């Protein structure tokens, strides 16, 4: 996704600054996060904190509760959360006496309905956006990578529109109901290139003009943006914070279990090992596996022969022969 021209900052200079900040110790980063939280709360009338049940947002929540114990906590249940996430959220909400607000997608906008219409979340948000747009419009733009062009031409049904329907819309609905003028997020600039660029362009405290539509915006604060994963786990150890069982099962993050944005980093292999029934359902009871087979053909995987049919039955046959076939691309 291209960066908006009017808000771009010098990426190279921003990265140099960010690398300097990453080298700071956890104590200094914690002091900075606390100052940002205190400043943002002082300027806000109706703040909320977004909590996914993940390790990052749990650390953020612990920090914010020291200033505002009764702050509304928004948990977006996408209805495709890992069972461990839902269990952890219920348990911690009770233990910490959270002012918890749970939101869910509309019945006609579930993950399964959206993916059936638009396609499946594969390979990363930037690639999914590019391929979905090219398929929808028929415009194979010069800016696409060779891989993206081939995916679009092969009609691989890839999309990340599910994020809009199961994440963004439900969250905005409840934030509107709460009258939120500030939302805290536990995003780390180190987590992805997109989040790195977001920090370079906007920093860790900024205003989004049309967040709720024309004429109504919201402030966003990312107090942990300068932290690394090592910092997060260090904070958990120091304060003995609980965390979701998913991390002990080999997962590096929680989120929607059918998502395959990290398919090239072993995401499906982790799902197969930790939740074999969910893996089998995704691969053989939906069209996800068939679309992944198409993508492997584009990648010229020799194990996908020209005679291979892109069907659920073909996927089942492949898994019967090689259970690890889809673990990585």
Whether residue 286 lies inside any domain: the answer is yes
- 3-state secondary structure at position 79: coil
The mean per-residue pLDDT over the stretch 268-282 comes to 97
| Shared domain check, 178 and 35 | yes
**Tokens (6 digits) for 100:** 């918890």
pLDDT of residue 27: 97
**Tokens (6 digits) for 272:** 């197969």
pLDDT of residue 6: 45
Quickly list DSSP for 107-167: GGG-HHHHHHHH-B-BS-HHHHHHHHHHHHH----TTS-HHHHHHHHTT--B--HHHIIII
Range from 14-18, 172-176, 201-205, 298-302 carrying the lowest mean pLDDT: 298-302
Mean pLDDT value across the chain: 92
Whether residue 258 lies inside any domain: the answer is no
Of 262 and 320, the structure prediction assigns the larger pLDDT to 320
| Shared domain check, 232 and 141 | no
The reported pTM is 0.90
Total domain count, the chain: 3
pLDDT of residue 215: 79
| Shared domain check, 88 and 217 | yes
- Is pLDDT of 206 > 80? yes
| Shared domain check, 105 and 192 | yes
Identify the burial level of 51 via C-beta atoms within 10 angstroms of its C-beta, where 0-12 means exposed, 13-18 middle and 19 or more buried: buried
Share of the chain above pLDDT 90, in %: 74
| Shared domain check, 111 and 13 | yes
Whether residue 271 lies inside any domain: the answer is yes
| Shared domain check, 146 and 25 | no
Whether residue 267 lies inside any domain: the answer is yes
State which of 158, 179, 204 marks the end of a domain.
158
| Shared domain check, 318 and 171 | no
For the packed helices 26-42 and 55-65, what is the interaxial angle rounded to 10 degrees? 60
> Which residues lie below 8 Å from residue 106, measured CB to CB, with a gap of 6+?
165, 169, 170
| Shared domain check, 234 and 217 | yes
pLDDT of residue 142: 83
At 124, is the pLDDT very low, low, confident or very high (cuts 50, 70, 90)? confident
| Shared domain check, 218 and 167 | yes
Q: What does the pLDDT look like over 27-45, one tens digit per residue?
A: 999 999 999 999 999 999 9
Whether residue 15 lies inside any domain: the answer is yes
State which of 199, 231, 251 marks the end of a domain.
251
At 126, is the pLDDT very low, low, confident or very high (cuts 50, 70, 90)? confident
The mean per-residue pLDDT over the stretch 244-262 comes to 93
Of 215 and 90, the structure prediction assigns the larger pLDDT to 90
| Shared domain check, 62 and 18 | yes
| Shared domain check, 174 and 145 | no
| Shared domain check, 102 and 221 | yes
User: What is the span of the domain harbouring residue 273?
Assistant: 263-329
Give the domain CATH number at 13.
3.40.50.620
At 221, is the pLDDT very low, low, confident or very high (cuts 50, 70, 90)? very high
State which of 218, 251, 284 marks the end of a domain.
251
> Which residues lie below 8 Å from residue 115, measured CB to CB, with a gap of 6+?
121, 159, 162, 258, 286, 288
Specify whether the CB–CB gap between 74 and 103 falls below 8 A.
yes
The mean per-residue pLDDT over the stretch 193-208 comes to 92
CA atoms within 13 A on the CB side of 263: 25
Whether residue 270 lies inside any domain: the answer is yes
Specify whether the CB–CB gap between 71 and 200 falls below 8 A.
no
What is d(CA 198, CA 204) in angstroms, rounded to the nearest whole number?
Answer: 9
What is d(CA 309, CA 69) in angstroms, rounded to the nearest whole number?
Answer: 56
Whether residue 88 lies inside any domain: the answer is yes
Contacts of residues 232-239 at CB distance under 8 Å and 24 or more positions apart, as own/partner, are 232/55, 232/56, 232/59, 232/188, 233/55, 234/26, 235/26, 235/30, 235/59, 235/62, 236/55, 236/58, 236/59, 238/26, 239/62
Whether residue 257 lies inside any domain: the answer is no
What is d(CA 148, CA 155) in angstroms, rounded to the nearest whole number?
Answer: 11
Specify whether the CB–CB gap between 109 and 165 falls below 8 A.
yes
- Is pLDDT of 3 > 80? no
Specify whether the CB–CB gap between 45 and 72 falls below 8 A.
no
pLDDT of residue 7: 47
- Is pLDDT of 109 > 90? yes
């Amino acid at each position: 996704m291209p960066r908006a021209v009017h808000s771009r900052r010098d990426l190279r200079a921003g990265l140099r600054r960010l690398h300097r900040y990453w080298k700071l110790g956890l104590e200094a980063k914690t002091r900075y996060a606390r100052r940002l939280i205190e400043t943002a709360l002082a300027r806000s009338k109706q703040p909320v904190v977004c909590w996914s049940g993940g390790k990052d947002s749990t650390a953020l929540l612990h920090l914010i509760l020291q200033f505002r114990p009764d702050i509304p906590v928004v948990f977006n249940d996408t209805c495709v959360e890992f069972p461990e996430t839902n269990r952890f959220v219920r348990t911690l909400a009770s233990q910490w006496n959270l002012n918890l607000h749970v939101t869910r997608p509309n019945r006609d906008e579930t993950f399964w309905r959206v993916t059936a219409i638009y396609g499946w979340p594969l390979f990363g948000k930037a690639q999914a956006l590019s391929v979905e747009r090219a398929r929808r419009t028929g415009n194979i733009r010069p800016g696409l990578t060779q891989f993206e062009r081939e995916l679009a031409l092969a009609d691989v049904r890839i999309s990340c529109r599910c994020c809009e329907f199961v994440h963004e819309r439900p969250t905005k609905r409840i934030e509107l109901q709460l009258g939120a003028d500030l939302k805290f997020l536990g995003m780390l600039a180190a987590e992805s290139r997109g989040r790195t660029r977001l920090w370079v362009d906007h920093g860790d405290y900024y205003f989004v003009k049309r967040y709720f539509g024309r004429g109504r915006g919201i402030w966003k604060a990312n107090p942990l943006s300068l932290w690394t994963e090592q910092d997060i786990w260090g904070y958990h150890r120091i304060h003995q914070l609980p965390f979701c069982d998913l991390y002990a099962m080999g997962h590096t993050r929680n989120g929607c279990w059918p998502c395959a944005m990290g398919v090239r980093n072993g995401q499906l292999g982790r799902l197969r090992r930790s939740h074999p029934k969910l893996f089998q359902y995704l691969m053989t009871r939906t069209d996800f596996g068939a679309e992944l087979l198409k993508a492997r053909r584009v990648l010229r995987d020799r194990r996908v022969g020209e005679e291979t049919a892109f069907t659920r039955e073909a996927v089942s046959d492949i898994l019967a022969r090689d259970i690890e076939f889809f673990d990585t691309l």
